[in-house]
Amino acid sequence: MFRPTDVNQAERVRVLFADQLNLARGKYLPRAFASHGIARLCRGVYAVTYQRELLPAPGAGLERGLPDIQARFDMNSLRPSWQANTAIALADVHDDDGPSALCGRGALKRAIQDWQKLGFDPMIGFEGEAYIFQRGDNGTWVPYNTPGAYVYGTGPFIDPEGLIEQVWEMAAAIGLPIESINSEFDSPQFELTLQYRDALTACDDFFLFRLMARELLYQQGYLLCFMPKPLQGVSGSGLHVNLSFRGADGKNTFEGKTRPGQLSDHIKGCIAGLLKHHQSLAALLAPTVNSYHRLKPASLSGYWANWGFDHRSVVVRVSGEGGAASRIEHRQGDCSASPYVAAVAVLQAARLGFIHGYELPDAETNDGLEVVSTDQHVAESLGASLNHLESDTSLMSAIGSLLVENFIFVKRAEIEELKDKSFDDVFNYYSPFI
Of the residues 68, 100, 132, which one is the last residue of a structural domain?
100
Of the residues 77, 100, 123, which one is the last residue of a structural domain?
100
Q: What is the pLDDT of residue 417?
A: 98
Report the SS3 class of residue 130.
strand
Residue 233 belongs to some domain of the structure = yes
Residue 59 belongs to some domain of the structure = yes
**Judgement on whether residues 83 and 152 belong to the same structural domain of the protein:** no
Range of the domain at 179: 111-430
The residues with which 50 forms a beta bridge, in sequence order, are none
User: How many CB atoms lie under 10 A from the CB of residue 182?
Assistant: 15
Give tens-digit pLDDT for 351-368: 999 999 999 999 999 999
Tally the domains of the chain.
Answer: 2
For 139-270, strand residue ranges (E) read 141-143, 178-183, 189-194, 197-198, 222-225, 239-246
CA 383 from centroid of its chain's CA atoms: 20
User: What's the CATH number where 64 sits?
Assistant: 3.10.20.70
**Judgement on whether residues 51 and 175 belong to the same structural domain of the protein:** no
**Judgement on whether residues 91 and 233 belong to the same structural domain of the protein:** no
The residues with which 54 forms a beta bridge, in sequence order, are 48
**Judgement on whether residues 59 and 123 belong to the same structural domain of the protein:** no
**Judgement on whether residues 125 and 87 belong to the same structural domain of the protein:** no
**Judgement on whether residues 313 and 388 belong to the same structural domain of the protein:** yes
Question: Is the pLDDT at 382 greater than 90, yes or no?
Answer: yes
Q: What H or E segment, with its residue span, contains residue 282?
A: helix 278-285
Residue 105 belongs to some domain of the structure = no
The answer to whether 137 and 179 are in contact (CB under 8 A) is: no
Sign, CA torsion 210/211/214/216 = negative
**Judgement on whether residues 88 and 214 belong to the same structural domain of the protein:** no
Q: What is the pLDDT of residue 179?
A: 97
| Mean pLDDT of all residues in 391-400 | 98
C-alpha pair distances (Å), 377 with each of 21, 248, 268, 304: 24, 36, 20, 4
Q: What H or E segment, with its residue span, contains residue 279?
A: helix 278-285
Residue 61 belongs to some domain of the structure = yes
**Judgement on whether residues 37 and 137 belong to the same structural domain of the protein:** no
Give tens-digit pLDDT for 216-254: 999 999 999 999 999 999 999 999 999 999 999 999 999
Residue 6 belongs to some domain of the structure = no
**Judgement on whether residues 117 and 227 belong to the same structural domain of the protein:** yes
Give tens-digit pLDDT for 308-357: 999 999 999 999 988 999 999 999 999 999 999 999 999 999 999 999 99
Residue 7 belongs to some domain of the structure = no
Instruction: Give residue 205's pLDDT band: very low, low, confident or very high (50, 70, 90).
Output: very high
Of the residues 41, 75, 100, which one is the last residue of a structural domain?
100
Residue 291 belongs to some domain of the structure = yes
**Judgement on whether residues 186 and 123 belong to the same structural domain of the protein:** yes
Residue 204 belongs to some domain of the structure = yes
**Judgement on whether residues 47 and 147 belong to the same structural domain of the protein:** no
Residues in the chain: 434
User: What's the CATH number where 243 sits?
Assistant: 3.30.590.10
**Judgement on whether residues 77 and 199 belong to the same structural domain of the protein:** no
Give tens-digit pLDDT for 88-141: 999 999 998 899 999 999 999 999 999 999 999 999 999 999 999 999 999 999
